[in-house]
Structure 1
Amino acid sequence: MVGMRIKRLRMEKGLSINELSEKAGVSKSYLSYIERGIQQNPSLQVLSRLAKTLSTDVEDLLDQRKNSDDFDVNHVDSEWMELVQHAIENGVTKEDFAYYLDFIKFKKMNGGHE
Structure 2
Amino acid sequence: MIGLHIKELREQQGYSLSKLAEKAGISKSYLSYIERDMQKNPSLQVLSKIARPLGVTVEQLLQESIQKEIKLDNEWKLLVQKAIHAGMKKEDFLEYYEFIQFKNRHKKR
Q: Smaller-chain TM-score range?
A: 0.5 to 0.7
Report the residue type matching 1:48 in the other structure: S
Counterpart for residue 17 of structure 2: 17
Q: Percent identity?
A: 56
2:68, 2:19 → 1: CA distance?
28
Report the residue type matching 1:52 in the other structure: R
SS in structure 2 at match of 1:48: helix
Report the residue type matching 2:67 in the other structure: R
Report the residue type matching 2:23 in the other structure: K
How many positions carry a matched residue from both structures? 72
Greater relative contact order, per chain length (Cα 8 Å cut-off, separation 6+):
2
2:67 corresponds, among 61, 65, 75, to 65
How far residue 71 of structure 1 moved from its aligned partner, in angstroms, is 6.9
Gaps of 5+ in 2: 75-109
SS in structure 1 at match of 2:68: coil
The answer as to 2:28 corresponding to 1:28 is yes
Q: TM-score, normalised by structure 2?
A: 0.60
State the superposition RMSD in angstroms.
1.9
How far residue 73 of structure 1 moved from its aligned partner, in angstroms, is 9.2
Which structure is larger by alpha-carbon Rg, 1 or 2? 2
How far residue 13 of structure 1 moved from its aligned partner, in angstroms, is 0.3
